[in-house]
Amino acid sequence: MKPSAKKSRRKQGRKQNVAGARESALSVLEAVLVKGRSLSAARSLIGGGLEARDRALAMELVNGVLRWRFRLEALLARLLRKPLRKKDYDIQLLLMLALYELEELRTPDYAVVNEAVALSRRLGKKWAASMVNAVLRGFIRDRQALATSVDQDRAARRSHPGWLIELLAHDWPEQVDGILDANNQRPPMWLRVNQARIAVDDYVRELELQHIKVQRHPVEPGALMLDAPVEVDDLPGFNRGLVSVQDASAQLAAGLLQLEGGARVLDMCAAPGGKTCHILESAAGLEMTAVELEPLRMQKVKQNLDRLGFQAQLVIGDATSASSWWDGNTFDRILVDAPCSATGVIRRHPDIKSLRQQSDLQALTETQRQILDQSWRMLKPGGLLLYVTCSVLKRENEQQIAQLLSAHADAAEVVIDAAWGIACEYGRQLLPGENNGDGFYFAKLQKQGVGVEDTAIA
C-alpha cells in the first residue's frame, strides 16, 4: 500500500473514533437528562471499544454539555423556529453538543457541522439533517449577537437553574457570582498520600520519576494536585495502597477529628470510604466502625480498605435509626459526612445542576437532622462529633448545627480556628475553588459531662 493510502486510512479510522466518542457522549447525556441517571452511573455507557483519548473526549463532551446546559438551551431556543418534539430530544442533545464544541473546544466549525449532520442521519433522522445544518450555520453567522443576547439573563450566562441561583444569592450575596463561576470550572485531580505507608516527599519523588507533576496544598500536607489528570493505574503504587484520589477539601476532615490511637471512631455515612480510610491512615490502633445505607456502595468501602491495608467493622444500616444496629457502646469520635445537596461539588458533578430539585431539600435536611440526632446519642461525654457536608447551603450546614445545639443542652461547639474557609455563625465553610478544592462545610461539637476533662482536646 502506498504511504499516502495508509495515511488516508489512518485518518478515516481516527474520524470514526471521534464519531464514536460523540455517539457515546449522546448516550450518556440521554441517560442523565432523560432517564435521570447520575453521571457516575451513566458514564459506564461510554464505549469500551474506544481508545483512551476518545473516551476522554466523550467525557469532555458530556461534562461540557452538562456544565453549560442552561446556556446552550437558551442559545438553541433563539436558533430554532419552534421547540423540538419530546421524541426528538436526541436531536436537541446533538445540537447542544455541537454548540458546545463550537463555543468551548477548538474543533473547526466545518467539522462540527459536518459531523452533526452525519450524526443526525446515523440516528435514523434524515429529516433533521438540513435543519441541523441550518441551525449550526445560523449560530456560526450570528454567534456574537446571540451570545450577547442570551448572556443578559444571569441563569443562562452562569448556566445554573434559577432556583439554585436564588438560594445561593440569599445565603452568599457577596460570593454568589464567584460560586457560580467556580461551579463551571473543570476540577483538578487531587491525590491523598497514604502517610501510614510512605512519606509525602518520597511519594512526590516517585511521581517525578514518572514525569507526573504536582503542586502541594497550602494547609493539608498529604494533598497533592496533579497538573493534568491521569488514569489511576498510572499512579505509582496505587494498587499497593500508597495513594488515593480525593479532593483536597475533603482531606481536611480527618485532621479536625483530633485522632489518637485506641479511640473508638464511628463513621456514620461511610461510602465510598475516602474519609474512613484517611482517618485510619492518620493514627494507629483506631477501632473504626463504618456505617452505610447502600450495600453496593459499602463494597467500595471494603475495596478501599483492602487496597490501603486497613480494617473496620462494616455495618450496612440506616444512620437515621441506630437502634437496629447499635450495640449501645459509645464512641470517642463520630464523623457525620451527611447525604446532602452536593451543591459544593457541582464542578466535579455537573449533572447535579440538572438532577437536583429544590423540592429535594426538605427531605435531605430532615435526614441530616435525624442522623445528627442519632449520632449525638452514640457520642461519649467528652467525645467529638464532626459534621461535614459538601453543600454550600446554610439550611444544610450552620442551621443544622444551630438546631442540634438548641435540642441538646450537653452540646457545645468547638470553634474551628483555621487559615481556610469562612467562619460561619457555627462551623466553617469552604466555597468551591478555594485553594483549588471543592466546597465543603465543617462543624465540630463536643459532648459536655462526665469525662470531659479526660479528653485529648486542649
Tell me the catalytic residues: 390
Judged by CB under 6 A, does residue 286 bind ligand SAM?
A: no
> Can you tell me which of 39, 98, 269, 314 binds ligand SAM, judged by CB under 6 A?
269
**Closest approach of Cβ 293 to ligand SAM, in Å?**
4
Cis peptide leading into residue 295 (ω within 30°): no
Q: What stretch of H or E contains 91?
A: helix 89-104
- Identify which range of 28-36, 218-226, 286-294, 444-452 contacts ligand SAM by CB under 6 A: 286-294
Cα dihedral 336→341→344→349 (10° resolution): 110
Q: Which is nearer to ligand SAM, 179 or 277 (CB)?
A: 277
Q: Which is nearer to ligand SAM, 273 or 382 (CB)?
A: 273
Cα dihedral 84→85→86→91 (10° resolution): -50
Q: Which residues within the stretch 293-332 sit at the binding site for ligand SAM (CB under 6 A)?
A: 293-294, 297, 318-320
Amino acid symbol at 118: A
> Can you tell me which of 20, 222, 241, 274 binds ligand SAM, judged by CB under 6 A?
274
Q: Which residues within the stretch 194-253 sit at the binding site for ligand SAM (CB under 6 A)?
A: 250
> Can you tell me which of 57, 271, 334, 336 binds ligand SAM, judged by CB under 6 A?
271
Q: 3-state DSSP: the chain helix, strand, coil percent, rounded to 5?
A: 50, 15, 35
- Identify which range of 210-218, 264-272, 425-433, 447-455 contacts ligand SAM by CB under 6 A: 264-272
Single out the residue of 376, 390, 368, 395 nearest to residue 445, CA to CA: 376
Q: Which is nearer to ligand SAM, 200 or 293 (CB)?
A: 293
**Closest approach of Cβ 271 to ligand SAM, in Å?**
4
Judged by CB under 6 A, does residue 292 bind ligand SAM?
A: yes
Q: In whole angstroms, what is the distance from residue 355 CA to residue 215 CA?
A: 33
> Can you tell me which of 22, 275, 348, 380 binds ligand SAM, judged by CB under 6 A?
275
Single out the residue of 312, 306, 356, 352 nearest to residue 335, CA to CA: 312
Q: In whole angstroms, what is the distance from residue 94 CA to residue 123 CA?
A: 10
Residues in contact with ligand SAM, total (CB under 6 A)?
A: 19
Please count the other Cβ atoms lying within 10 Å of the Cβ belonging to residue 136. 22
Instruction: Determine the residue with CB nearest ligand SAM.
Output: 269
Q: Which is nearer to ligand SAM, 292 or 351 (CB)?
A: 292
CA distances from 126 to 6, 87, 103 (A): 32, 15, 25
**Closest approach of Cβ 333 to ligand SAM, in Å?**
14
Mapped onto helix, strand or coil, the DSSP state of residue 443 is strand
Q: Which is nearer to ligand SAM, 120 or 374 (CB)?
A: 374
Q: Tell me if 276 sits within 8 A of 301, measured CB to CB.
A: yes
Q: In whole angstroms, what is the distance from residue 84 CA to residue 125 CA?
A: 13
DSSP letter at 247? -
Judged by CB under 6 A, does residue 270 bind ligand SAM?
A: yes
Q: Which three cell numbers stand for residue 162?
A: 434559577
Q: In whole angstroms, what is the distance from residue 158 CA to residue 424 CA?
A: 26
Q: Which is nearer to ligand SAM, 39 or 291 (CB)?
A: 291
> Can you tell me which of 337, 398, 434, 438 binds ligand SAM, judged by CB under 6 A?
337
CA 416, chain centre distance (Å) = 24
Residues 71-100 as x/- pattern, contact with ligand SAM by CB under 6 A = ------------------------------
Q: Pairing mode, if any, of strands 411-414 and 440-447?
A: antiparallel
**Closest approach of Cβ 56 to ligand SAM, in Å?**
24
Mapped onto helix, strand or coil, the DSSP state of residue 51 is coil
Q: In whole angstroms, what is the distance from residue 58 CA to residue 396 CA?
A: 34
- Identify which range of 17-25, 57-65, 292-300, 356-364 contacts ligand SAM by CB under 6 A: 292-300
Q: Which is nearer to ligand SAM, 255 or 339 (CB)?
A: 339
Q: Tell me if 424 sits within 8 A of 394, measured CB to CB.
A: yes
Strand residues in 227-308 grouped as ranges (E):
243-245, 264-267, 287-292
Residues 399-438 as x/- pattern, contact with ligand SAM by CB under 6 A = ----------------------------------------
Q: Which residues within the stretch 365-384 sit at the binding site for ligand SAM (CB under 6 A)?
A: 367
**Closest approach of Cβ 403 to ligand SAM, in Å?**
18
Residues that bind ligand SAM (CB under 6 A): 250, 269-275, 291-294, 297, 318-320, 337, 339, 367
